[in-house]
Amino acid sequence: GNSVTQMEGPVTLSEEAFLTINCTYTATGYPSLFWYVQYPGEGLQLLLKATKADDKGSNKGFEATYRKETTSFHLEKGSVQVSDSAVYFCALADRGSTLGRLYFGRGTQLTVWP
């Protein structure tokens, strides 16, 4: 079956620290992988995505590389800001997924202190 495992939060960092949020997946094929971010009181926004192995998605200083050999899609940012405080969801859509169904990880709460 399809599933996504995210590192357990919460994650608390000081401003300008390096961020890694781990995400590994199980899928029947070669899925598309997504990172969504949810700011307090808001809906989900696509942060970045990768649709094939070795692709790197990037946006707003965040990056994630689709690693088929380790079935991973870890999110990284070199220097976090207070405004990055949010919940981050890793998700996949499998080739056989009906109507692009997304499988979400549990979410990781990130808090950045000034």
Partner 1 sequence: DTEVTQTPKHLVMGMTNKKSLKCEQHMGHRAMYWYKQKAKKPPELMFVYSYEKLSINESVPSRFSPECPNSSLLNLHLHALQPEDSALYLCASSQDGTRFTDTQYFGPGTRLTVL
Q: Rounded CA gap, 59 and 31, in Å?
A: 20
CB 44 within 8 A of CB 102: no
Site for partner 1 in 95-114 (CB under 8 A): 95-102, 104-107, 109
CB 18 within 8 A of CB 78: yes
Size of the site for partner 1 (CB under 8 A): 28
Can you list the alpha helix ranges (DSSP code H) found in 53-109? none
Q: What are phi and psi of 59, to 5 degrees?
A: -175, 135
Give the distance from CA 69 to its chain's centroid: 18
Task: Considering the complex, state which of residue 19 and residue 105 has its C-beta at the smaller distance from partner 1.
Answer: 105
3-class DSSP state of 90: strand
Residues 34-53 vs partner 1: string with x where CB under 8 A? Answer: x-x-----xxxxx--x-x--
- Is 93 a binding residue for partner 1 by CB under 8 A? The answer is yes
Q: Minimal distance in Å, beta carbon 81 to partner 1?
A: 22
Q: Minimal distance in Å, beta carbon 26 to partner 1?
A: 15
Q: Minimal distance in Å, beta carbon 56 to partner 1?
A: 15
Catalog residues that contact partner 1 under the rule CB under 8 A.
31-32, 34, 36, 42-46, 49, 51, 87, 89, 93-102, 104-107, 109
